[in-house]
A and B are shown apart, each in its own frame.
Chain A
């Protein structure tokens, strides 16, 4: 069955340090991969997506994600964290075996400490 796993409920990072939020997926066929962010009291916002091509995808607010087909992973990264990056981050995947509906991870709470 199709699934998305975000193995960490919460990630704590000091401001200025690099951050990684992990995501692995299980689908058949070629996946379309997405990251969304949910700030407190605001709607979900699109960050970036992988369709095909270069495995390193750049998105909004300085975030990037690396697609690794052999490890079926799509980890979100940022070289230098800001306090304002604190939010809930969701990984999602679309593929043919889910009729191209988005399958969502459970979310990872990112806390950036000053």
Chain B
């Protein structure tokens, strides 16, 4: 079992609210990722980090921001939520020492966000 945790599991909020989705891992992995997944659809990378103080935007344009102040923690923040942000958000981590570009990802259980 992967030691990567996401909270909350479900979140329903009103438009305009600021929210932070939490993601923590206890495996000491340098690489962490945020994906967005709509039901029955592929995962889209929205942010990633290769280590502390390193963050990059992914392929999918997103109005969210991330921070990586500690290795184990990679929160995602939406400053002003909109209905278009309704989706499932998946956090993942990987250990680059397992292989160059072929290491497996460990996923959290996800946060299902609904913006009314």
A43-B101 contact given A101-B45, A102-B45, A106-B41, CB 8 Å threshold? no
Chain A interface size, under 10 / 10 to 19 / 20 to 34 / 35 or more: 20 to 34
Q: Does B18 reach chain A (CB closer than 8 Å)?
A: no
Q: Does B109 reach chain A (CB closer than 8 Å)?
A: yes
A102-B105 contact given A43-B2, A43-B90, A90-B43, CB 8 Å threshold? yes
A107 touches B59 (CB 8 A): no
Closest to A3 in B: B42
A9 touches B42 (CB 8 A): no
Quick one: CB contact mask for B81-107 with A, threshold 8 Å, 1 for yes? 000000000101000000101101111
Chain B interface size, under 10 / 10 to 19 / 20 to 34 / 35 or more: 20 to 34
Q: Tell me the minimal C-beta distance from A21 to chain B in angstroms.
A: 15
Which chain B residues lie closer than 8 Å to A106 at the CB level? 40-42
Which chain A residues lie closer than 8 Å to B108 at the CB level? 43
Closest to A10 in B: B40
B45 touches A94 (CB 8 A): no
Name A's interface SS. strand
Q: Does A41 reach chain B (CB closer than 8 Å)?
A: yes
Q: Does B48 reach chain A (CB closer than 8 Å)?
A: yes
A43 touches B43 (CB 8 A): no
A43-B40 contact given A32-B101, A101-B59, A102-B45, CB 8 Å threshold? no
Hey, which bits of chain B sit against chain A, CB under 8 A?
Answer: 2, 4, 40-45, 48, 58-59, 90, 92, 99, 101-102, 104-110
Hey, which bits of chain A sit against chain B, CB under 8 A?
Answer: 4, 9, 32, 34, 36, 41-46, 49, 51, 90, 92, 94, 100-102, 104-107, 109
